[in-house]
A and B are shown apart, each in its own frame.
Chain A
């Protein structure tokens, strides 16, 4: 990868209760690109994703070795402020998980936590974030309605808007479309394409066609190892590793 890397991992290993889930993973995530992680269930792709904002810290008995550099700073260092880290590295999950509050409050929540109090500033942030998440036109007249009344696809875009509101550098997406219908999926995929102008996106997906459609780079993982990582076109047209070839052509997994 010739582009400058925003995240670099060097020889990362991770154990859950002594069971190894990641093995010597070294990957560079290029800035302002979409990188997809693919692989069969249990291969470690979500685990790797959760390393990037230290979400694995929330799980007991996890041991991590190796370096994870964000903007050349090792986020594994004990002095790292994880709140700031998670502001820089936002996350969107498989199932939309809006707060049981209004649409406005969902988006304004993050900036408020980080100290923004001025109403006009919050209004601007909410509007911009909803615009960026391609949701503004659909919700501008119902900002005070409950977020739980939105459709699944709208809720997921609201979660993306909520992430954008705190101005992250990187957005992690863990199977963001697996609970959505094809129309809502297409909207999220279009959005991912727009987001890369301003953000770096890392997406975990079990849907290889989705990885092929939305990403610039693809990493294939198997049994905790990063088998191959390269330009998406190369991975899907002519992978270097036989394991990758066999996986993406459906010969195993």
Chain B
């Protein structure tokens, strides 16, 4: 029976990785659509929202079934606790992708101001964090998540920088207000994605060591 349970845990991990990659891909595609002003790509992100929601429900139910049927303990229990967090974080990241994709349709009529400022760079940093967090969950490798606190600080600093720069462009010309507000919102969404990624990392650390950490 223990063997069956551990096979179930492996299946759960694979399915959760599938969802985490879907959330990550929705975010990546949304940012690409924003950069390239590509409404078709943006629409493809929007089209996947139902898929990620269905995955969330199915995977959470899988976790609850495993808890109810097998009463997991120690690392098995911590793995399921971590997996529930990964499921939640992946859904949030995917949904932020969807929200960014929605913005693309509204601001694809004119060229970007200042080449989107630091948004493409910020997005790359955030998506790298997501990739490393997913890989750490997949491989139980804590070295991948070292230095996450500093990476999160960099993302926070970029959001602040984009906010200030956006305000400057708005003050220069009120016609920029709508577009720059969207940029500031995208920066905020990316920062939230980084925060959700930090939650994954905190839980991977708990899963591996049993100790709680907080990435500030």
| Contact of B2 with A209 in the complex, beta carbons under 8 Å | no
How many residues of A are counted as interface, with CB atoms below 8 angstroms from the partner's CB atoms? 13
- Distance between Cα atoms of A248 and B74 in the complex (Å): 7
- With A237-B210, A238-B210 already in contact, the answer to whether A249 and B71 are too (CB < 8 A) is no
B5 at the interface (CB under 8 A from A): yes
- Determine if B74 and A239 form an interchain contact, defined as CB atoms under 8 angstroms apart: yes
Contact A248 B73 (CB under 8 A): yes
Min CB distance B6 to A, Å, is 8
Q: Which residue of A lies closest to B77 (CB)?
A: A237
CA distance A251 to B1 in the complex (A): 10
Q: How large is the interface on B (under 10, 10 to 19, 20 to 34, 35 or more residues)?
A: 10 to 19
Question: In this assembly, does B196 line the interface, its C-beta being within 8 Å of a C-beta of chain A?
Answer: no
How many angstroms from the CA of A237 to the CA of B72 in the assembled complex? 10
Contact residues, B154-189 vs A (CB, 8 A) = none
Given contacts A208-B73, A209-B71, A248-B73, contact A237 B2 (CB under 8 A): no
Q: A238 near B74 (CB under 8 angstroms)?
A: yes
Q: In the assembly, what is the distance between CA of A244 and CA of B74, in Å?
A: 9
Complex interface residues of chain B between 1 and 51 (CB less than 8 A to chain A): 1-2, 5-6
Task: Please measure, in the bound complex, the distance between the C-alpha atom of A238 and the C-alpha atom of B74, giving whole angstroms.
Answer: 5
| In the complex, A67 has a CB within 8 A of chain B | no
A245–B78 Cα distance when bound, in Å, is 12
Contact B74 A249 (CB under 8 A): yes
Q: When A237-B210, A238-B210 are in contact, do A249 and B1 touch as well, CB less than 8 Å?
A: no
Contact between A245 and B2 (Cβ–Cβ < 8 Å)? no
Q: A-facing mask of B183-214, CB < 8 A → 1, else 0? A: 00000000000000000000000000011000
Q: With contacts A212-B73, A236-B74, A237-B77 known, is A250 near B210, CB below 8 A?
A: no
Contacts of A238 in B (CB 8 A): 74, 78, 210-211
Residues of A near B77 (CB, < 8 A) are: 236-237
Which residues of chain B (69-97) have a CB below 8 Å from chain A? 71-78
Cα(A249)–Cα(B207), bound, Å: 14
Q: Is the CB of A237 within 8 A of B78?
A: yes
Q: Are A249 and B76 in contact (CB under 8 A)?
A: yes
Residue in A244, A245, A249 whose beta carbon sits within 8 Å of that of B72 in the complex: A249
Residues from chain B with Cβ under 8 Å of A244 in the complex: 74
A251's nearest neighbour on chain B, judged by CB, is B2
Q: 1/0 per residue A185-210: CB within 8 Å of B?
A: 00000000000000000000000110
Q: Chain B's nearest CB lies how many Å from the CB of A163?
A: 30
A-B contacts, 10 of them at CB < 8 A, read: A212-B73, A236-B74, A236-B77, A238-B210, A238-B211, A244-B74, A245-B75, A250-B6, A251-B2, A251-B6
15 extra A-B contacts, CB within 8 A, seeds A250-B1, A250-B6: A209-B71, A212-B73, A237-B74, A237-B78, A237-B210, A238-B74, A238-B78, A238-B210, A244-B74, A245-B75, A249-B73, A249-B74, A249-B75, A250-B2, A251-B6
